[in-house]
Chains A and B, each alone.
Chain A
Amino acid sequence: MSFLAMAWRYLKFRRLVTFLTVVGIALGVALVCAVLALRHESERALSREAGLYDLVVGGKGSPLQLVLASVYHLDSPTGNLPYTDYGKLRRDPRVLWAAPMGLGDNYAGYRIVGTEAHFFDLPDRNGKPFFRLARGHIFEDRFEVVLGSHVAAASGLDIGDTFFGTHGLVDVPGGEVHRDFPYEVSGVLAPTSTAQDRAIFGTLASVWEIHETEDRLHSAIQGTALLSDEEEREVTSILARLKTPGLRLWMADEIRKRSDCIAAIPINEILRFQRGVIGPVQRALLAVAAAVVLVACLTVLTTLHQAAERRRRDVAILRSLGALRSEVAALVFTEGVLLTGAGIAFGLLLGHGGLALASSPIRDATGLVLHPWHMPKAEGIALGVMALCGAAASLFPAISSYRRTPIDDLHLTD
């Protein structure tokens, strides 16, 4: 019978204590895995998306708010800016790509983004098209829309289906439904694993038409002037890709100097947000997780020590049968390693399984698409450290068993 088999039988023999110890280790490991994986995945997802755009230009307000609203479809946008500003920016020789965004309505909580057809020409950082159509075509008529992949899957809408937008950026009961302006689905985008999967893309003209008609109605009721002409139309924000990222600061500074709008660099805002807001929370969570792991390692130490104390007689019997000191120590150490290994394995499963379960609600709430089973390098290091702690905790009872003299313990009874 091998040491491994013997150690396993001893662990099985006191299954309740074994189970509780493994659960203790697993909870600590799961917490560490979940926090590290979540940090890595959120950083990866946020940075990937933020990196697509070099500049976001919007009305005066918080740059972070502007980025969250324009890139991630979260938060309220800052103030509008004239459509003519978009024209100027697009004509700037330093700009590779720029597209306007007009927000105002939603469908079932998914934002309807008014833009122009070349929005879908955005290249990724490798120069390949970022957007791909899964089916249908890009909108051509004013009230045609293209659905993000998640919207299509969640709403069940498909090519040719129609729906009405609701006023506002969030779905609230009793919201004003624009029943005079049905949208028709012309295409569905392939998944991008970004917040764009949770948006509906239509023409900027449709956004203007819906809201100008309402304004016209209000003006008529109030007896005020009619709506502005095209020269005075506005957009919520402008997304821009520059010919080189090195131009970001220069152009942002240039735009900021204009009094009526701001330019945010998404990647800078997101990194600042991660370091300033998410980072401290994650560090606090990691500290808690480290404390849990420490307690779990102490539990291994206590459990094995108590087991070794209870097994003094068994160790003495093994010695009387001819087992070497090193052999009984190896047996006790193997038990500890098995306990720690089982705890780490279950913890890994629990942490990443929990993340897999949470990834769908996280995607629905924030648009962040996580890869829950991916193991970041930091997690591998943390697991290694935890395994070493478990091994160190197993060494103490092993050394204690090594040092005991069998004759002292043979008189002990069961």
Chain B
Amino acid sequence: MIRLHDVSLCLGNASRTSAVQFHLPAFEVAAGETVVLTGPSGCGKSTLLNLVASLRRADAGEVTVANVDLATLSPAQLDRHRGTHCGMVFQTFHLLAPFTAIENVTIGLRFGARKRDNTRRRADEVLRRVGLGDRLHARPHQLSVGERQRVAIARAIAGGAPILLADEPTGSLDPDTGREIFTLLQEVATEDGRTLLMVTHDPALAAELPRRLDCTGLIRSTIIAGGRDANA
């Protein structure tokens, strides 16, 4: 389902003498598999997720998602590929404040669904599935943080995306709520046969999943030979 091979990416503005470089020799995830990404802050976990989500393009190497080499897609095709194949869940929920829970999910479907029929009914279904049947018309500020993350999960799964990318989904939640959200993500991935890539700092949660990728060292500073200082 996901394959990265010898992927490198220059992050930030490279100076004449050094660059911050992401490099991943090889990484593959099968369809329906759940992988947790661990490692210290700034090690490259989120960058890996963003590469899979095509929010970043690799400078070199191959990124294949859902059997499509992302390097071959135009920017517009990348946007549509992301919308139809990747459902994203963020640490800070990223709900749209002017809209209700059901509208947030509907908007997600508008841009990301493989089929755009009956979006309202589909949004209603998934919100009920994540336990928010009685909060359909609440705005984000009227929801608890746990409920907000449930709306975000509903939005991520509503369109039928086969890949779920969760970037520290429990990072803003208390331990109990975090546990609920973690369980919910696992459930929707397992029941629907979706591939789940989840970033977490919580070693206890990470330990519960069968496959972990330690991302330590994916990002490192590189001295550029031939820079002005090197020549001095």
CB distance from A412 to the nearest CB of B (A): 9
Residues of A326-344 contacting chain B, CB below 8 A:
326-327
Q: Scan B72-112; emit 1 where CB is below 8 A from any A CB, else 0.
A: 00011001101110001010101111110001001110111
Residue of A nearest to B99 (CB): A9
Contact A413 B96 (CB under 8 A): no
Q: Scan A294-334; emit 1 where CB is below 8 A from any B CB, else 0.
A: 00000000000000000001100111111111110000000
CB distance from B111 to the nearest CB of A (A): 4
Known contacts: A10-B98, A407-B56, A410-B94. The answer to whether A325 contacts B76 by CB under 8 A is yes
Interface size class of A (residues with CB under 8 A): 20 to 34
Whether A377 is near chain B, meaning CB under 8 Å from some CB there, is no
Summarize B's interface: helix, strand, loop or mixed: helix
The answer for the CA separation of A323 and B94 in the assembled complex, in Å, is 15
CB distance from A320 to the nearest CB of B (A): 5
The answer for the CA separation of A12 and B97 in the assembled complex, in Å, is 12
Summarize A's interface: helix, strand, loop or mixed: helix
Known contacts: A1-B103, A9-B99, A406-B55. The answer to whether A320 contacts B94 by CB under 8 A is yes
The answer for the CA separation of A63 and B10 in the assembled complex, in Å, is 85
Contact A6 B111 (CB under 8 A): no
Among B79, B84, B94, point to the contact of A317 (Cβ < 8 A).
B94
The answer for the CA separation of A118 and B99 in the assembled complex, in Å, is 74
The answer for the CA separation of A319 and B92 in the assembled complex, in Å, is 16
Whether B155 is near chain A, meaning CB under 8 Å from some CB there, is yes
Chain A residues contacting B56 (CB-CB under 8 Å) are 407
Whether A414 is near chain B, meaning CB under 8 Å from some CB there, is yes
Contact A322 B53 (CB under 8 A): no
Contact B94 A324 (CB under 8 A): no
The answer for the CA separation of A326 and B80 in the assembled complex, in Å, is 12
Contact B96 A320 (CB under 8 A): no
Chain B residues contacting A10 (CB-CB under 8 Å) are 98
Contact B107 A1 (CB under 8 A): yes
**18 extra interface residue pairs, beta carbon distance < 8 Å, beyond A319-B79, A322-B159, A324-B76:** A1-B110, A12-B98, A314-B96, A314-B97, A317-B94, A318-B96, A318-B111, A319-B55, A320-B55, A321-B88, A321-B155, A322-B80, A323-B79, A323-B111, A325-B76, A327-B111, A406-B55, A407-B56
Residues on A lying within 8 angstroms of B by beta carbon are 1, 6, 9-10, 12-13, 313-314, 317-327, 406-407, 410, 413-414
